[in-house]
Amino acid sequence: MKLKGTQILLEMLKQENVDTIFGYPGGSVLDIYDQLYQSDIKHILVRHEQGAVHAADGYARASGKVGVCLVTSGPGATNTVTGIATANMDSIPLVVFTGQVPTGLIGNDAFQECDITGITRPCTKHNFLVRNIDELASTIKEAFNIARSGRPGPVLVDLPKNVMAAQTDFDPANVKFRNYDVPHKAAPKKIANIFDMLQTAQRPLIMTGGGVLLGRASEELTALAKKYRIPVTGTLMGLGSFPGSDPLWLGMLGMHGTYYANMAVSHCDLLIAVGVRFDDRVTGTIETFAPNAKIIHIDIDPSSINKNVTVDLPIVGYTKATLQDLLHFLDDHHYAQDDDTRDVWLREIADWREKVPLTYCSEGDVIKPQYVIETLHRMTGGDALITTEVGQNQMWTAQFFKFDKPNTFISSGGLGTMGFGLPAAIGVKCAHPEKQVVDIAGDGSIQMNIQELATAAQYNIAVKVVLLNNGFLGMVRQWQELFYEKRYSHTDMTYAPDFVKLAEAFGVVGLRATRRDEVESVLKQGLASDKPVLMDFRVSREECVYPMVRPGESITQMTLGSREMIN
């Protein structure tokens, strides 16, 4: 049967089980939007194209599906770049459809023309410019396959207006495409090598990253750690891959990691790193990272192995399959750790935890941001999906909210994109409307995409914003305090909107707490609402995130306060 390009697009989306699209219309995609009007696919109209990509990103992280967004050409397309780069750094599967001028006008500086495939080539896993309608169906199929196969990532498909208006014979059962989903299985010899290394290790440690969550391997990693009593630490992107309330969990490692996690990494003799990139915020000075350890690195992406940290046993493979094989091998070969040796190692970690616990100082009626997060965790029972903005709010969330389940912590890790949290929360809520979804935000970051409150209001997407309002660009101010003698150059944000009034102007509920004893009541009221809510907590203005490893130093050299350093 003959179908128009717009009809083929919608048919292919249905084949991919796409139920939600985040987007913003414009001239070059009007034909697509007219077809979408007749479709049963849900479309969420955002207020900025960056918000569309972040929402699709949040949807993908929470659901495990490929996130989808649709925008127009020119500025609509260029507005997606930050969101695409965010997803690319964190390996999130997205397909971004952009409108384009007719093929005959490409290169002529036509109205709202831009080379979006050229612009996004460095920050996509792959991208396509569809020049012929006969290539449309196979290109869409290939785009979804690329986005979710191997190490996931964003794919952009540029759709010229004339291609979408053209017609061609279409048979959905006869769409041919290149399949990139090649199975990666660790060699049996590699699994045997892990067994041998565990046999001789006295102080083993597991380091978990975002690849465990993307690979749906949390169950296997948890089973490995618990069965053999191996302590676990995680990167920011690995939070939730192992239960945060389990005694074996040491918290996050790295620049703002716990003292006991960083000390465990520095004293372990075997580090099993699963789905990590060894980012500089995690390792500190490379030369001093895990100096006593043999390192095993399991990752789907061979380019990540030996990129930053030289390892002793590289294993390229899907995290889930590799850990399953390891569990079977250890069981079949009757691996049993020496209980006395393991007890000594766990007691050493317990001593570090007791010596320097993760804590903060209360100050009378002043609201401490850590207290807000602790109270939020207690009142939700940890049963909430948390997004964050970027900055101090993100680090305090990582430290003080215990994530017991996978894919419950959703944040911009690699790129550190301010403005991510609110639109991402909208995407998460669309994926799980039955769940409590909370964006923990800072007053600087929230203003980057605060217009998406209108999106939440329009569709009654009942996300909750917990705003830690300190009147500063908090993390930048902290660095200015520590390294620039408190010269707060352009980080003071006291000239800001009344967030409660602004929330109400957007049509959402606005609440405020200015005293510690108001925190619980505001959270109770906000969480109970069936509408979008912004809760403005006026927190301690110059609170810092500690522990902190200063740039260029070993992760054992942690500053615990403005003057206190410990090794």
Q: Are the CB atoms for 205 and 233 separated by under 8 Å?
A: yes
Average pLDDT over residues 226-235: 98
Three-class SS state of 336? coil
Average pLDDT over residues 323-330: 97
pLDDT (tens digit per residue) in 29-58:
999 999 999 999 999 999 999 999 999 999
CA distance 541 to 538: 8
- pLDDT score recorded for residue 525: 98
Is 161 a known active-site residue? Answer: yes
Is 164 a known active-site residue? Answer: no
Q: Are the CB atoms for 198 and 217 separated by under 8 Å?
A: no
- pLDDT score recorded for residue 282: 96
Annotated active-site residue in 11, 14, 15, 112 = 112
- pLDDT score recorded for residue 179: 78
Is 112 a known active-site residue? Answer: yes
Q: Are the CB atoms for 277 and 297 separated by under 8 Å?
A: no
CA distance 491 to 19: 41
Annotated active-site residue in 42, 111, 355, 524 = 111
- pLDDT score recorded for residue 472: 97
Annotated active-site residue in 16, 49, 142, 220 = 49
CA distance 456 to 453: 5
CA distance 203 to 437: 38
CA distance 413 to 280: 12
Token pair for 179 = 């399949």
Is 111 a known active-site residue? Answer: yes
Averaged confidence pLDDT in the chain: 96
How confident is residue 310, by pLDDT bands cut at 50, 70 and 90?
very high
Q: Which long-range contacts (CB under 8 A, 24 or more apart) does 249-255 make?
A: 250/349, 250/353, 251/358, 251/399, 252/398, 252/399, 253/207, 253/282, 253/555, 254/279, 254/281, 254/282, 254/283, 254/284, 254/549, 254/555, 255/281, 255/282, 255/284, 255/548, 255/549, 255/555
Using the CB atoms, write b or e for 94-120: b if 16+ within 10 Å: bbbbbbbbbeeebeeebebbbebbebb
For the chain, state the CA radius of gyration: 24
Token pair for 259 = 């003292």
List the domains of the chain with CATH numbers: 2-174 (3.40.50.970), 188-355 (3.40.50.1220), 369-546 (3.40.50.970)
Q: Are the CB atoms for 50 and 417 separated by under 8 Å?
A: no
Token pair for 133 = 């309608």
- pLDDT score recorded for residue 566: 58
> Quick check: 87 pLDDT over 60?
yes
CA distance 506 to 514: 22
pLDDT (tens digit per residue) in 430-489:
999 999 999 999 999 999 999 999 999 999 999 999 999 999 999 999 999 999 999 999
Token pair for 244 = 């945060």
CA distance 411 to 398: 10
Counting residues of the chain whose pLDDT is more than 90, the rounded percentage is: 94
pLDDT (tens digit per residue) in 3-14:
999 999 999 999
CA distance 258 to 233: 9
pLDDT (tens digit per residue) in 332-354:
999 998 999 999 999 999 999 99
CA distance 45 to 43: 6
Distance of CA 238 to the CA centre of its chain: 9
Annotated active-site residue in 161, 320, 368, 464 = 161
Annotated active-site residue in 237, 395, 475, 548 = 475
CA distance 197 to 206: 13
CA distance 458 to 507: 8
pLDDT (tens digit per residue) in 180-230:
766 678 889 999 999 999 999 999 999 999 999 999 999 999 999 999 999
CA distance 422 to 441: 8
What stretch of H or E contains 535? strand 533-538
Q: Which residue has the higher pLDDT, 173 or 161?
A: 161
Average pLDDT over residues 311-338: 95
How confident is residue 326, by pLDDT bands cut at 50, 70 and 90?
very high
Partners of residue 273 on adjacent β-strands: 207, 297
- pLDDT score recorded for residue 180: 72
Q: Are the CB atoms for 62 and 438 separated by under 8 Å?
A: no
CA angle 273, 278, 284 (to 5 degrees): 120
